[in-house]
Amino acid sequence: MSTLRSLRPFALAGLVLLAACAAEPPPAPLKLTILHSNDVHSRLQMVNAFGSTCSAQEAQQNKCLGGVARMATLFAQNRAAATAAGRQVLVLNAGDNFQGSLFYTHYKGAAELEINNMLGYDAMAIGNHEFDDGPANFSRYLRGAKSPVLSANVDASAEPAIRGQYRDAVVLERGGVKIGIIGATTEDTPEISSPGQNLKFPRAEGVIAPIVARLKADGVNHIIMVSHLGLFRDKEVAAAVDGIDVVVGGHSHTLLANDIKGSEGPYPVRVKGPSGREVPIVQSGSFSRWIGRIDVDFDVAGNVVAANGNSITVEQSVRPDPTVQAVVDRLDAPLAQVRTQVVGAAAIPYALDGCRARECALGNLVAEAMLVATRAAGTTIAVQNGGGLRAGIAEGQVTLGAVLTTLPFQNNVATLKLKGSDLLAAMENGVSQAAENGGRFPQLAGARLTWTLTKPAGQRVISLEVRKPDGSFTPIDPNAVYTIATNDFMRRGGDGYVVFRDRAIDPYDFGPGLDDALATYIRSNSPVRVSTDGRIVNR
């Protein structure tokens, strides 16, 4: 046999191998458009500037924003435009779909599930408010979700209700390119929601870094974190964990935008990772009033070479998607009678803005209502967490629907006795996260608080005074015992108020509903005009 003939099988094998190699596409750059939303908080309909359900009069005056049917239209329009421009598309949800309107109060997540399945999200992060009615309730959402639900730092190994029903990350393919998406959930969920004793929420950095390494080892060179950590923590994680290319965030309700009045920073915010690469971070407000679009270009190695975009206002003029709107209307039908009951009027507008970092009129109003509701118990001070206020109240007629939207958590007013020294410790906790827009900021009645951001957390309270019967104020006596009104969530240690839980004397958590207390106060003092008066001062 000739040498040529004897080599022929090897030559043919080589040709087959070359053909196989030629069939594999070479690495290619990726042009990716990410559409996203965060913190919709059950605002399925249009809302006013305060986040409350839009009234017919406000709609006639073109003062409304948002609504999931209009979100659906904008998602579809931007998807079509990006696809026509040769871009690949992902649609991401950064969590907190639950809690905030009668849709959640009545349906306990079933309404949000039906809508989100229609909006076509490719992945969703778990938000803290997904646990407001416990893991078993959230399990219904997880079992019905059509897209992956993600969190790397929710440890459900000891919680059978949701164990195995969500993922830490998912790999999706766009244009032949693998994209890893990692979820993250705020670590203080046990303090600000009701996840129960079995779930753990470890620091995100420690669990996300090995997942990034795992994805990289599997050949995934494009990695997105869809995060419900808040902007402050997103920056920390992006700076600490190498390999994250983009962060799509939520939780802090931060409007990042380049041309929208009132935005809190540029879109995107950029943070340098450990290797010196800039990581773009985006977030688009809350309550369905905005969606985000970021166009990210990657080179063949998976490096971000361009990242630009903006938040997009969900204007009232946007035509609602008729299919989604029909579902919202069906879900809304049983709620209309409850929502429209008039309880009184507001002489001034009560905005939600600022209630997590400073005195706000809305916080004063709710705290005063608690104080009046518990007067028979001898309370002298009321404390309401700013994060427990979920929408403002517009000037004019106030309906029960507006009250329930402002206070959607179905909390009771709680009372307790507390030593002055413990009350001071509670105020230190309350102002500890003001720079991060944390939800624990204390709104007060019957007291005056002076504090500062110039000192570290734990040393920020300068003075705390209690109001005397004649209207004057006197410093808190560390050794005296005071009767306090708060909500039962805080009384049980929520939002870090463990002193209310551990040091309470004669606590009682079963007072009137907080929403009932506010509705009664508005009804009895209508038109209400409680405003800011300097009871909380930041020096």
CATH number of the domain that residue 365 is part of:
3.90.780.10
Q: Kindly state whether residues 222 and 352 are assigned to the same domain.
A: no
322 and 446, same structural domain?
A: no
Count of domains in the chain? 2
Same domain for 453 and 305: no
Nearest to 384 by CA among 421, 340, 414, 422: 414
* Distance from C-alpha of 34 to C-alpha of 44, rounded to nearest angstrom: 22
Provide CB contacts within 8 A for 3, sequence distance 6+: none
Helix, strand, or coil here: 358? Answer: coil
Residue 237 lies in a domain: yes
* Residue 12 maps to a domain: no
Does 309 share its domain with 390? no
CA-to-CA distance for 240 and 261, rounded, in angstroms? 32
Q: Specify the pLDDT at position 54.
A: 85
Measured in residues, the chain has a length of: 539
Alpha carbon separation from 183 to 15, 94, 125, 325 (Å, rounded): 44, 8, 5, 29
The verdict on residue 27 lying in a domain is no
* 349 lies in the same domain as 327: no
In order along its 539 residues, the chain shows pLDDT tens digits of: 444 344 444 444 444 444 444 455 566 799 999 999 999 999 999 998 878 888 888 999 999 999 999 999 999 999 999 999 999 999 999 999 999 888 998 999 999 999 999 999 999 999 999 999 999 999 999 999 999 999 999 999 999 999 999 999 999 999 999 999 999 999 999 988 899 999 999 999 999 999 999 999 999 999 999 999 999 999 999 999 999 999 999 999 999 999 999 899 999 999 999 999 999 999 999 999 999 999 999 999 999 999 999 999 999 999 999 999 999 999 999 998 888 899 999 999 999 999 999 999 999 999 999 999 999 899 999 999 999 999 999 999 999 999 999 998 889 899 999 999 999 999 999 999 999 988 999 999 999 999 999 999 999 999 999 999 999 999 999 999 999 999 999 999 999 999 999 999 999 988 888 999 999 999 999 999 999 999 999 99
> Could you identify the residue written with the tokens 């944390």?
438
Q: What is the Rg, in whole angstroms, of the alpha carbon atoms belonging to the chain?
A: 26
Domain that holds residue 443: 341-538
Burial per residue of 35-64, b for 16 or more beta-carbon CB atoms within 10 angstroms, e otherwise: bbbbbbbbbbbbbbbbbbbbbeebeeeeeb
Q: What is the CATH number of the domain that holds 83?
A: 3.60.21.10
pLDDT for 26: 61
Are residues 355 and 497 located together in one domain of the fold?
yes
d(CA 33, CA 85): 10
The verdict on residue 453 lying in a domain is yes
In a domain, residue 14? The reply is: no
pLDDT digits (tens, 9 = 90+) for 225-282: 999 999 999 999 999 999 999 999 999 999 999 999 989 999 999 999 999 999 999 9
Residue 2 lies in a domain: no
Per-residue model confidence (pLDDT) at position 7: 41
Q: Please give the model's pTM, rounded to 2 decimal places.
A: 0.82
Q: At what angle do helices 68-84 and 322-332 cross, to 10 degrees?
A: 160
For residue 28, the model assigns a pLDDT of: 75
Query: What is the DSSP secondary structure assignment for residue 441, as one 8-state letter?
Result: P
CA distances from 178 to 48, 124, 218, 276, 302 (A): 40, 18, 10, 23, 10
Check whether residue 431 and residue 531 sit in a common domain: yes
Q: Does residue 192 sit in the same domain as residue 87?
A: yes
Q: Within 24-158, where are the H helices?
A: 56-60, 68-84, 102-107, 110-119, 134-144
Residues 6+ apart with CB under 8 A from 224: 34, 90, 92, 179, 180, 181, 182, 244, 245, 246, 247, 248
Residue 403 φ/ψ, nearest 5 degrees: -65, -45
